[in-house]
Chains A and B, each alone.
Chain A
Amino acid sequence: MSETREAEQPVTAVSAGSAHHRRTWGDLPTVLRRGIVLVALLGAWQLSTLFMTGAQAQLMRGPLEVGEAIVDGFARGDLVDATLTTLRILLLSMAIGIVVAALLTTFAMWSKLGDDILNLLTAMINPLPAIALLPLAMIWIGLNTTALVVIIANAVIWPLAINVSTGFRTVNPTLLAVGRNIGLSGWRLVRGVYLPAALPHIVSGIKTGWAFGWRTIIAAELVFGVAGEGGGLGYFINYARFFNRTEDMFAGIVTIMIIGIAFDLLFSLLERKTVIKWGMKTA
């Protein structure tokens, strides 16, 4: 690999100056470039497993086996159940987080004191990884879904609230004047101007909230998994470790990655169809 690259270097330098432009890596379409890198990485991963023996091989699985484990997991149903459990708890927590964040934002918009409280709380709680509250939540609430929901909702609320209140606060005053000029006031002004104008901030708040929530719920489930409460993907991974099913541990991890990527794509799509299309955010 390295020899060919060195050999290529002078050629590239010459071709850059000459009229005959040689196709370089950067000229390929992004999808193709990323696809090639992905295949190369998976290949390297698969190759590395071939050279492992004994105990090492026991603890490692290649992409093919992991893919098989994922298919099996979905066929058996336990990986589906784990995924759905995690998503259900996360969506419930996010819904609660959104409601609380909306209330906090309203309070912060409504009064200077509310604004101070929101800013101070966010500054204090944001640097604290939400998972650090889990032990307390466990002894206060118990080993149940409620404790999980409380922890995840907490992880979601603060980034969301601070983004939404920033969005509301920075709405272009001319747009508000136009809204009032055509006769909007109160809730109609919020729906007609504040919400759409703050949409870039709202979407980015939901994105950050989701990212925090997703990381926190997996971590929380790993701890809960030890405690024995049946459930989500974190539990699935821990359970696989308990029974020494390495391929299932990998299957859980890869599932988490795939869902993370899927949600990121979903949010990107949402942004492309709204705020980017409207020129309110650059791509």
Chain B
Amino acid sequence: MTTNTSHAGSTQSASGAGTPLLSVQHAKIGYVVNRETHVAVGDVSFEVRQGEKIMLLGPSGCGKSTLLKAVAGFLGLFDGQIRLAGRETLKPGPDRAVVFQEFDQLFPWKTVRDNIVHPQRVIGRARSEAERRSDEYLELMKLTQAADRYPHQLSGGMKQRVAIARALALDPMILLMDEPFGALDAQTRSRLQRELIDVAARTNVTLLFVTHSIQEAVYVGDRVVVLGNAPSTVQEVVDVSALDDPSTLEFTSTQEHLRSLLAIDDDELGNLAFE
């Protein structure tokens, strides 16, 4: 177990337990390319409690996806520690199910249903149990009609829904999402944001969500961890748990605050949204 005490400041939490579910301490992460070291994440610490929705927000190239990859166990750390329920995340595993941005994250040779059943079989669940749960999550993500289709027959939004259903069906300790709606059109994107909030409330899943959209961060998240430019550090952790109506003044003022934290004007924001 970690020696760290719970992060003070935020008043809301699903469980309110003392020990964080995920703790990132002084993480320094980067790549070695042609014997040259590029540090993306300089020194980042934050904690995620059970049932929380944490958004990682930052300018492009700040290493937010890199950080998520390290939590997922795909990348090692130069320094620091990442612990999930007290255990270091050194290898990838289904306790940290990942939803990627790419539409082609589904196995094209499996039907929608089998894409959800198969990973459960891999983690050792009985077929009947895996099928029962797959039906459950198909319904939750409004996919029942598409259960017997192959991924190439689905729209981008449907594919991302399947990826979310597949991840949730594994009962992960934490769900990691790497800009899952980044490649969707605006309409589908906001619909899936609403659905995700709904599904997260029903399943009480803990969420670590990477985004470069300020609106998405404020709308979906409970807290926003704002990263600076690479090598990044945490600029601020902003509590947005009470903000779920974009028409309110508080929502817009928080967006303004985050915009100023990212130190970018509106022109650059426009560019950022398309990167």
Contact = CB atoms under 8 A, between A and B. Distances in A.
Interface of A: 172, 174-175, 177-178, 180-184, 188, 192-193, 196, 199, 274, 277-280
B100 A174 contact: yes
Max chain B C-beta neighbours (<10 A), residue from A174, A178, A278: A178
Contacts of B108: 278-280
Interface string B82-119: 00000000001110111010101101110000000001
B72 interface: yes
Main secondary structure of the interface of A (DSSP, over half): helix
Interface in B112-128: 119, 122-123
A174 B105 contact: yes
B92 A279 contact: no
Measured as residues with beta carbon below 8 angstroms from the partner, the interface class of chain B is 20 to 34
B78 interface: no
Contacts of B107: 175, 178, 193, 196
Contacts of B97: 181-182
B46 to A, nearest CB: 22
B113 to A, nearest CB: 14
9 contacts: A174-B102, A174-B104, A177-B100, A182-B123, A278-B108, A278-B109, A278-B150, A279-B153, A280-B152
A277 B9 CA distance: 54
B151 interface: yes
B119 A182 contact: yes
B170 interface: yes
A199 B102 contact: no
Contact of B98 (A177, A274, A280): A177
B170 A182 contact: yes
A130 B1 CA distance: 65
Max chain A C-beta neighbours (<10 A), residue from B74, B94, B108, B119: B108
Nearest to B105: A174
Contacts of B123: 182-183
A279 B105 contact: no
A276 to B, nearest CB: 10
B104 A183 contact: no
A255 B4 CA distance: 79
A16 B267 CA distance: 55
Contacts of A178: 98, 100, 105, 107
Contacts of B94: 181-183
A279 B97 CA distance: 26
B170 A172 contact: no
A274 B119 CA distance: 21
Contacts of B74: 177, 180
A186 to B, nearest CB: 13
Nearest to A195: B109
A196 B96 CA distance: 24
A42 B115 CA distance: 51
B225 to A, nearest CB: 22
Given A177-B74, A182-B123, A274 B109 contact: yes
A180 B92 contact: yes
Interface in B52-102: 72, 74, 92-94, 96-98, 100, 102
Interface in B144-177: 150-153, 170
A278 B110 CA distance: 8
Contacts of B109: 196, 199, 274, 278, 280
Given A180-B92, A181-B92, A279 B152 contact: yes
A279 B93 contact: no
A180 B107 CA distance: 13
Contacts of A277: 150
Contacts of B153: 279
Nearest to A184: B122
A224 B72 CA distance: 61
A280 B152 CA distance: 8
Nearest to B152: A279
A279 B122 contact: no
Nearest to B163: A178
